[in-house]
């Protein structure tokens, strides 16, 4: 998966299995982990690797740029990524760019959030809600 450095904004390739370890930006050497912002997934391969190999639960937001509620939800997911850094990985899947993933998981409305643990879907939630409600309803409180 590609992780953007919070210091210099360079993209860094990071295997999902290493998301619980220490990693530094290849360009500026700033710490990349824990992930404090959502990761934009750009391929089905990156998605599969992340949900299969991540050492923490993965909250995936299925969204689209034209969707008003999706834009409303974005800052709430930023809060979850920041507040639960190291305990939860937040990822985003653009359903317009990756329609095969949306079809695979039967996404009929957006935004839809799915939590994966150990590669398996464990919870699902539709609609834009505050970060605290999302964390509670998806059992992300650690």
The reply to whether the predicted model has a pTM over 0.75 is yes
**Of 5, 8, 25, 70, which one is the catalytic site residue?**
70
Rounded to whole angstroms, what are the CA distances from 53 to 9, 81, 118?
24, 18, 7
Written out in words, the top-level CATH class of the domain with range 35-137 is: alpha beta
Domain ranges for the chain: 35-137
pLDDT, tens digit (0-9, with 9 covering 90-100), for 63-74: 999 999 999 999
Q: Which residues contact 92 (CB under 8 A, 6 or more apart)?
A: 38, 39, 40, 41, 60, 61, 63, 77
Answer yes or no: 70 catalytic. Answer: yes
Mean pLDDT of each 10-residue bin along the chain, 142 residues long: 90 89 92 91 95 95 97 96 93 97 96 96 95 89 54
Residue 142 has a pLDDT of 46
Q: Which entry of 5, 8, 28, 67 is annotated as an active-site residue?
A: 67
What is the per-residue pLDDT for 21? Answer: 86
């Amino acid at each position: 998966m590609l992780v953007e450095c919070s210091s210099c904004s360079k993209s860094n390739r990071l295997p999902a299995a290493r998301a619980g370890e220490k990693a530094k930006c290849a360009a500026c050497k700033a710490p990349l982990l824990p992930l404090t912002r959502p990761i934009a997934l750009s391929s089905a391969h990156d998605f599969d690797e992340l949900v299969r190999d991540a050492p923490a639960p993965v909250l995936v937001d299925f969204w689209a740029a034209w969707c008003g509620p999706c834009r409303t939800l974005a800052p709430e997911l930023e809060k979850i990524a920041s507040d639960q850094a190291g305990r939860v990985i937040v990822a985003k899947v653009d359903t317009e760019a990756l329609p095969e993933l949306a079809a695979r998981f039967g996404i009929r409305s957006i935004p839809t959030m799915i939590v994966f643990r150990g590669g398996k879907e464990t919870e699902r939630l539709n609609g834009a809600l505050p970060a605290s409600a999302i964390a509670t309803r998806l059992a992300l409180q650690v």
